[in-house]
Structures are given as C-alpha cells and as structure tokens.
Amino acid sequence: MHKYLSEKGFGSRRSIEKLISIKKIFVNNKIAILGQKVSIGDKIKIQQSTLVVDDLSKTHHQHLIYNKPEGEICSKNDPGGRKTTFSALPRLNNLRWISIGRLDINTSGLLLFTTDGTIANQWMHPSNGYEREYMVRIYGKYKSDIEKSMINGINLSDGMAKFKTIAQIQDANNKKWFKVTVDEGRNRFIKRMFEHHGIKVSRLIRIRFGDIILPTDLKKGQYKIVSEL
C-alpha cells in the first residue's frame, strides 16, 4: 500500500507510514496497518480523498510546467475564495497533482507539478540543491557592497542565507532589475534578503528551476504538459 499511495502522489513512503501509524488511512472503512497489502477494488481513504485501487502495475504519471500569475495562491483550497494554482490544472482520475515547491501570492513564474510523489520528493529535498533563478525588480538604492553581502551571506531570522549569483540588468525604462540564482526555497527568502538592506522588491518572477526554463511563449495562467521532470 505504501508504494501504491506514493505512486499516486500522496507523499513519500515514510510520510504514508506516519499517516498509518496515527490512524489516518482507512482501507475498506477499516483502519490501515503498517505493511498492509491492497487489491484491485479496495477503497482507500486518505487526506480527505477516496480512491479505488484500479491497477497495481506501475502508474503512468503526468507532469507539467505552469506559469503562475501574481494573485494566485499555491494551495488546493482557500477559505477566502482566492484563486489557487490548482484550479487552473487539468483534472485527473484517481491521481492528484503535487506542487513541487511554492511561490508566494505576489510572485509569478515557473511552477512544476507532477503526480509522482517520489519525483516530487526528489525535487524538494534540500540535499539535492536544485537551483532556482529569478528576475527581481527593486525600488531603492543599490550599492556594490550590498551585492558582496548577499553573496557572502546574511543572517536572517531563520538562519544564514545567501545568493549563489546576482547580476544587475537595466531595462529600457531604466528600472532596476536583477537576475538572482539561489539553491533553496525558504519562505520569502529573496525578498527578505533585499529588505535586510532597506530595498523593496516590486516584482519577482521565477524563470528557472533546476534545468527547466520557463518557456517564453507560455502565458501567465497557462500550463504545458511535459514528458518528464
């Protein structure tokens, strides 16, 4: 059952074992036990979802890239009624989309989704250190010593943080843009780095995650199915 639920996108095998140990998974309306096997036709209830075991062979997973607009939240449901990233994705039968990482409500750009829990965990595990690249527009004075500080590291409230690279880009309207590369996805990480120096970030766009680049022809709010991640 652990492998089956992991392949269906309900988390890693370890996280599923934890749910079983705290009696949060049911098979045919009975509390699941560690090591339990499932058969075709069994009904599994997990995390407010119910699925019927339809095929125990290897699941054919799906993957996509999505260009998130500002104003959308990276959540499946929002009590406030705001639009979520999941609402724009194609519907699935007996599988579910997993967001690989998150972007805050005011950040736009590249998001990755998969139905494969194993792949999702590989992408999100800190030890793998997948690079993220962003375009950042700022307001405020920017000096060369700030750049040095951001590369060497800044002690934020939740620990040391630093950029791998930072390069300034001047656009046609003379606005200050930067291309920034990081290897972690800490909450509001980039904005807090600039705010530490009294600089406000007015736009933040993720343009790359690992070796996957946001396609220039993919409009905001649109997705593209890909064969692999």
CATH of the domain at 183: 3.30.2350.10
Same domain assignment for residues 203 and 145: yes
Inter-CA distances, 160 with 10, 116, 125, 148, 198, Å: 32, 32, 18, 15, 18
Angle at CA of residue 22, ends 20 and 28, nearest 5°: 45
Domain at 17, CATH number? 3.10.290.10
Q: Could you tell me if 183 and 130 are in contact, meaning their C-beta atoms sit under 8 angstroms apart?
A: yes
* Residue at 57 is within a domain: no
pLDDT at residue 173 in the model: 62
Short-list 147, 134, 152, 129, CA closest to 210: 129
Instruction: Dump pLDDT digits (tens) for 133-160.
Output: 999 998 877 777 888 899 999 998 888 9
What CA–CA distance (Å, rounded) separates 219 from 132? 20
pLDDT at residue 57 in the model: 63
Q: Checking phi first, is residue 177 left (phi over 0); if not, alpha (psi -120 to 50) or beta? A: beta
Same domain assignment for residues 154 and 201: yes
| Catalytic (active-site) positions | 104
* Residue at 98 is within a domain: yes
Q: Which residues in the chain come in under a pLDDT of 70?
A: 56-59, 171-174
Short-list 107, 109, 111, 113, CA closest to 71: 107
pLDDT at residue 133 in the model: 96
Same domain assignment for residues 30 and 70: no
Task: Give the domain range for residue 67.
Answer: 63-126+214-226
Query: Which helix (H) or strand (E) element contains residue 122?
Result: helix 117-124
Q: Could you tell me if 120 and 114 are in contact, meaning their C-beta atoms sit under 8 angstroms apart?
A: yes
Q: How many domains does the chain have?
A: 3
pLDDT at residue 65 in the model: 96
If you search the block for the tokens 């792949």, which residue do you land on? 119
Same domain assignment for residues 193 and 219: no
What CA–CA distance (Å, rounded) separates 23 from 99? 25
Same domain assignment for residues 118 and 221: yes
pLDDT at residue 131 in the model: 93
* Residue at 58 is within a domain: no
Q: Checking phi first, is residue 71 left (phi over 0); if not, alpha (psi -120 to 50) or beta? A: left
If you search the block for the tokens 């990480």, which residue do you land on? 189
